[in-house]
Amino acid sequence: MMRASKKLEYGLRAMADLASYYKDGPVSAKNISGRQNIPLQYLEQILNRLKRARLIETVRGPKGGYALSKEPVKVKMSNIFVALGDRGYLVACLGKKSSTPCSRMAMCNTRVFWEKLNKSMAEVLNSMSLQDLCDNKKGGKRVNKIEHSYPFQI
């Protein structure tokens, strides 16, 4: 079976986390990292890619962090795949700008399979939004993990 990259897996989890906190304001990378069990340094790289793609924005200040740049219902899975470097082509020869044209294209008996699979995948990616992930979340509750950077003493 095909596997998604860690970058894509973590990126989707981070975006779903931001979507679930959309109405609450910015979320720190540290909190996302803790809730989603994503290494903080790797998460920051992923968040930078999502920011460059204008899917998220940063808010500075004491209550700053990361937030979606638009409503969860308007962010399609295909947008996230593209932002994280996955163009959605399962094999290179299907890409519109394939750097290595396939020498077997005229006689390829598997191309039809890859085209159908790729088309089905594109339909799913374009039909699902972050809101769909939030609506289908198992367990129904989100975890509010408050980070305190000061010790409590009595």
| pLDDT under 70: residue ranges of the chain | 1-2, 86-90, 92, 94-101, 137-154
Please answer whether residues 38 and 74 qualify as being in contact, where contact means their C-beta atoms are separated by less than 8 angstroms.
no
The residue ranges of every structural domain in the chain are 6-135
The pLDDT score that the predictor gives to residue 109 is 85
Please answer whether residues 17 and 56 qualify as being in contact, where contact means their C-beta atoms are separated by less than 8 angstroms.
no
- 70-104 confidence digits (pLDDT tens): 999 999 999 999 899 866 666 767 666 555 667 77
Q: How many residues does the chain have?
A: 154
Scan for tokens 């209550």, then name that residue: 63
Evaluate whether the domain defined by 6-135 bears CATH number 3.40.630.30. no
Q: Print burial letters for 6-28: b (CB count within 10 Å at least 16), e (below 16).
A: eebebbbbbbbbbbbbbeeebbe
Long-range contact list for 93-97, CB < 8 A, 24+ apart? Answer: 94/118
The pLDDT score that the predictor gives to residue 135 is 84
The pLDDT score that the predictor gives to residue 62 is 84
Q: What is the C-alpha to C-alpha distance for residues 73 and 69, in angstroms, rounded to an integer?
A: 12
